[in-house]
Amino acid sequence: MENTRQQFAERLQQALKHAGYAPKPAVLEREFNLRYLGKPMTLHGVRRWLKGETLPSEDKLLVLARWLKVDVRELRFGEQVSHQVRERQLPYPEIPHREQEVIEMFLELSPSRRQVICDVIMTFALAEQAQFGTPPAKPDNDQENTTAEQDPA
C-alpha cells in the first residue's frame, strides 16, 4: 500500500509541474482550496499527499484531476492501469456523442451533486409519465420529431 501512495505522490507532483505549478504544499493547499467546495484542506493534509503518506478521497481526487487537466484514473492509478480500464469499457454507440459527454461529466461530479441531478431527472421523468400516461420512451430521431409535433408546450 505504501508503494501505491508513493506512486500517487509522484504522479501528483508531475501533474503539478506539467500544469505550471510548483509541487509544494503551500501552492497545492492554496490552489486546491480555491476549487474545492467542501471543507478546506490543511497544509499538513496536502503535504501528506505530496509525500505519499495518504491518498485523497474520491471527491478531492476529482477536483485535483479537473484542475490539473489530467485523467482521474491516470492520476490515481497510473497511465498503464488507465489504458487497461479504457480498453475494457464497453462503448455505447446507441447513445449520441453529446449525451456520452454529459454522462462522463455527470460521473465526475461529487456524490451530492450527482444526487441533485438524479432528483431533477426523476422529476422530469415522472412529470412526463403523468402527462402522457406512459414511462418516458428512449428517444430516437423519429420519436423526437413525433413527440415535438404532439407536444403542445
Q: What are the extents of the domains in the chain?
A: 2-88, 92-136
Cβ atoms of 72 and 15 within 8 Å: the answer is no
CATH code 1.10.260 for 2-88: yes
Q: Does 143 score more than 80 pLDDT?
A: no
> What is the number of other CB atoms lying within 10 angstroms of the CB of residue 20?
7
Q: What is the model's pTM?
A: 0.53
CA 1 from chain centre, in angstroms, equals 24
C-alpha 30/C-alpha 40 separation (Å) is 9
C-alpha 1/C-alpha 48 separation (Å) is 15
Cell of 32: 486546491
C-alpha 72/C-alpha 79 separation (Å) is 10
Residue-wise pLDDT for 82-137, tens only, equals 444 444 454 566 777 677 778 878 888 888 898 999 999 999 989 888 888 776 55
